[in-house]
Structure 1
């Protein structure tokens, strides 16, 4: 089992939250693999994690054709697109952005090259171009802030100042912002503004994990899923 935190980060106070969805999701850029998880400490991303929706066969999309190899694909092809995104804890909504389009997805290396070349331009355009449609919630228990990004256009159900409960639907998964295919990006921060906040380590409660190496499911009461694992939330034991 992977360490919860790299050695240099042990002793940091982890924030315990719930997985922000139902169903099965593939883990990418897990902080159980490396920290910083996304290769940078900027934008509060030090311990960020990505979840890509999958079906019961752990496929991210049910269709593969010439577009998969050579071009872009409509986001509707992907299992994650439109799935509910839930609040990972009790808190208060402090920021909402819901004005970015859901763009075409890219699995093709040919389509990824021009997209990568546009990265600097997206950074210059600000948070909307990077995080896409997103929600920031101030978590009551820890006093930290959780950001959920790349949400579907016009799907956000909450507004600033609104109180939300753990497991309440706040939006749907989209492909907005700096995203190559529909997924949910989650990070916990010490402030509400990702451009100045620092990332905070987190741990998830009550989930089933199919590790990438063995594929044998195990139920975990608390932890950080490993890179390439598939996870789904489970009910807390009574």
Structure 2
């Protein structure tokens, strides 16, 4: 499956934490939390609930800094979601799976990274937890970190982070911003999605506004996103499709006038900055603390202005290829502030749509075949789903 690029400017940074002033012990006792000089902080402040692929999930990040004087390696993460003291969600990872979840501050989030930290280094673990079948929602997540320290002060042990509360509210329910068939949910929620790793430090604070974002790309009957010249926007099935308001609400930000990129050319029409990252875009306030953000719109197609009140289903604009975009598609996210980068991404649920179980034949006569279709209610599409609206 081709991967699609947008709004993926990943930069990880270390954080300043207040720690007590004390000397390290001169010996290296095992399982001594004082000896394991590690700061580990889950983020964001509350985990959210995601309904997708027929069951419940939560996503959060764990920022880890080595405050000691010797290198260390994290060998295992154990996460337990607890309802009172009952475990209702759990994940235990080590080895290659753990390396795939870890990104050091100066590392590449697109590949596995050895979860080792030199003194002063910081890294991030990207965590998604699935509920156990038939269980209630957890109230908190407890994260246990197994650590090996090497060098002059070698030893091993396990530390526990502060409990992370789970927001018990269900995801906001919206209508689809698109209509038609064969919409691929590229970079949609998963623990390997490029959106999932798109951490941006804004004013010293980490943000992942795209934590649950989707890049909507429309496929043709041959399984391709275009039908003729791949360097012509008009060749793409998604290009110029209508973008609809996902709910009633007020328009709080509009950007227009950015020219379209030449698709799959490796070049962008304008330099990427904080203001041009999303290209031409609209941000709509749905309710307090919930914003719908529509990115990469066709220039001159936006039909609303700041202050307008819109209703679910209203046409807002047409789909284009502007900003940090490699080909025509709609980047859509729900977030907690009226900003693509300076916000936290929130899960959402689409009221009704059809999930298509599909395969793409890549032979000399490529074809997209839908093997079966399934009506979905109040779910968010997951990565590389094919959906119809």
Q: Over alpha carbons, which structure has the higher Rg? A: 2
CA deviation after TM superposition for structure 1 residue 146, in Å = 0.9
What is residue 189 of structure 2 aligned with on the other side?
A: 31
What is residue 232 of structure 1 aligned with on the other side?
A: 388
Question: Aligned equivalents of 1:185 and 1:18: distance in 2?
Answer: 15
What is residue 75 of structure 1 aligned with on the other side?
A: 233
Using a 3 Å threshold, how does the CA distance of structure 1 residues 146 and 167 change in structure 2: closer, same or farther?
A: same
| 2:283 paired with 1:127 | no
Question: Aligned equivalents of 1:39 and 1:191: distance in 2?
Answer: 19
Question: Aligned equivalents of 2:285 and 2:354: distance in 1?
Answer: 26
Question: Superposition RMSD on alpha carbons, in Å?
Answer: 2.4
State the secondary structure of the residue aligned to 2:234: helix
Matching of residues 30-49 of structure 1 within 5 Å? 30-32=188-190, 34=192, 37-42=195-200, 44-49=209-214
State the secondary structure of the residue aligned to 1:166: coil
Greater relative CO (CA pairs within 8 A, separation 6+):
1
CA contact 1:28–1:228 (8 Å) conserved in 2: yes
Question: Aligned equivalents of 1:17 and 1:180: distance in 2?
Answer: 27
Question: Aligned equivalents of 1:161 and 1:82: distance in 2?
Answer: 24
Question: Aligned equivalents of 1:57 and 1:232: distance in 2?
Answer: 16
State the secondary structure of the residue aligned to 1:127: coil
Instruction: Say which of 329, 333, 348 aligns to 1:202.
Output: 348
What is residue 152 of structure 2 aligned with on the other side?
A: none
Question: Aligned equivalents of 1:168 and 1:88: distance in 2?
Answer: 8
Q: TM-score, normalised by structure 2?
A: 0.50
| 2:322 paired with 1:176 | yes
Unaligned runs of 5+ in 2: 1-52, 59-127, 131-137, 139-165, 201-207, 360-369
Q: TM-score, normalised by structure 1?
A: 0.80
Aligned residues: 212
Instruction: Say which of 315, 338, 359 aligns to 1:192.
Output: 338
What is residue 149 of structure 1 aligned with on the other side?
A: 295
CA deviation after TM superposition for structure 1 residue 57, in Å = 5.3
Using a 3 Å threshold, how does the CA distance of structure 1 residues 180 and 50 change in structure 2: closer, same or farther?
A: same
Is the helix fraction higher in 1 or 2? 1
Question: Aligned equivalents of 2:215 and 2:296: distance in 1?
Answer: 10
CA deviation after TM superposition for structure 1 residue 8, in Å = 4.4
Instruction: Say which of 154, 165, 173 aligns to 1:16.
Output: 173
